[in-house]
Amino acid sequence: MRFLIFTTLVCLSSLSFAREPAPVWPLENNLFWKYAPIERYIQPTSSGKIESGLFGCVRSGGNKFHEAIDIRAQSKDKKGEATDTVLCVLPGKVAYINAVAGNSSYGRYVVVVHDVEPGIFTLYAHLASVSEQIKVGQRVRGGSVLGVVGRSAGGYHIPKTRAHLHFEMGLRLSDRFGAWYQGQKYSSKNKHGVWNGMNLQGFNPLPLFEEVRDGTYVGMADYIKSRPTAFVLEIVTRSIPDFVDRYPALLTGPIPRSGVQGWRIAFTAYGLPKSWTPLKDTIANKQGAVTLLRFDPELLGKTPCKKTVVAGKNGSYHLGRDIRRTLALLFD
């Protein structure tokens, strides 16, 4: 009997400490894991400023957003072209492949949706080539080869000396992006469906990999929820966005059986809706009303390129164009 009880406890203990797989570095080199200086593995723009290859308001004096980290190519052939292999960071399914470099400023790129909770996407851009072994809908493992790092791009030129992997991690805002885009009457055609960059909201992947390297990584949901909260909105609506159906791990509690009356959503300074609280009662009564509950001026002041919550006259704050677009996509 003692043996049976001990066995059961061991099994339960193993289940309680089971963790999702940790992400692998997306290029086949180990400089990052060896704590190499950031200049060794991040590729800056022509400015030479290392921060220009990082995530955030890092370009044009802080006024241009870079939604990824640019990882420097390490290996070159005799012609000076990059030869590094690009690896899938986590298990998942290939969601989209853009094989025509001129169709996007990203050049050739691959998008993978992952098995972790929430089911984030990763995007691998400026590829010299996409692996012939992968197809849309195919399952891939962490470490699977997706292509070769390069400098492909539509509308501009990346020299050999700055070949790199543009690497993004994030969440997709809406399944209805195509209809929304068409309604905006943009002059350019949407060639990428729901995987258009306007429908993708990223977060900084570098601190996540640092947690993995340092042995402090717990899981994707914990990482996203732990990003600093820059502002909180309350939205009055009875609808449940497809975003919530897609990422239930970001809910702070169950949806009321009687139906939801609204949402309290915490956002990062860059506009990532990182946690969702379903509400039985709301401050405002009018359907569609949006209330700014609180905000952090210091955090918002560090992200001048993103117009989420914007300072107005006399110390007032209001919703900017970027967060209004995000809300339109989330709530149609």
User: Which residue from 135, 59, 52, 139 is spatially nearest to 96, judged by alpha carbons?
Assistant: 135
DSSP state of 267: E
Secondary structure class of 318 (helix, strand, coil): strand
CA distance 253 to 265: 12
pLDDT value for 196:
95
pLDDT score, position 195:
97
- From the list 129, 119, 127, the residue with the least C-alpha distance to 93 is 119
Q: What is the DSSP string of 136-178?
A: TT-EE-TT-EEEE-B---SSS---GGG-EEEEEEEEE--TTHH
Query: Within 10 A of 270 (CB to CB), how many other CB atoms are there?
Result: 23
pLDDT at site 8: 36
Cα(102)–Cα(152) distance, rounded to whole angstroms? 8
Is the Cβ–Cβ distance between 253 and 275 less than 8 Å?
Answer: no
Mind listing the domains of the chain with CATH numbers? 38-214 (2.70.70.10), 227-331 (no CATH)
Strand partners for 111: 96, 123
Whole-number pLDDT of residue 113: 98
DSSP 73: P
| DSSP 8-state code for residue 39 | G
Q: According to the model, what pLDDT value does residue 138 have?
A: 97
pLDDT of residue 222: 96
Per-residue confidence (pLDDT) for residue 14, from 0 to 100: 36
Give the pair of three-digit tokens for residue 196.
């258009």
Confidence (pLDDT) at 88 = 98
Give this prediction's pTM: 0.92
Q: Which residue has the tokens 């209004």?
A: 324
List per-residue pLDDT tens for the chain, 332 residues long: 333 333 333 333 333 344 789 999 999 888 999 999 999 999 999 999 999 999 999 999 999 999 999 999 999 999 999 999 999 999 999 999 999 999 999 999 999 999 999 999 999 999 999 999 999 999 999 999 999 999 999 999 999 999 999 999 999 999 999 999 999 989 999 999 999 999 999 999 999 999 999 999 999 999 999 999 999 999 999 999 999 999 999 999 999 999 999 999 999 999 999 999 999 998 888 999 999 999 999 999 999 999 999 988 888 899 999 999 999 999 98
Residue 17 is predicted with a pLDDT of: 40
**Phi, psi for 202 (deg, rounded to 5):** -100, 170
- Is residue 304 within 8 Å of 247, Cβ to Cβ? no
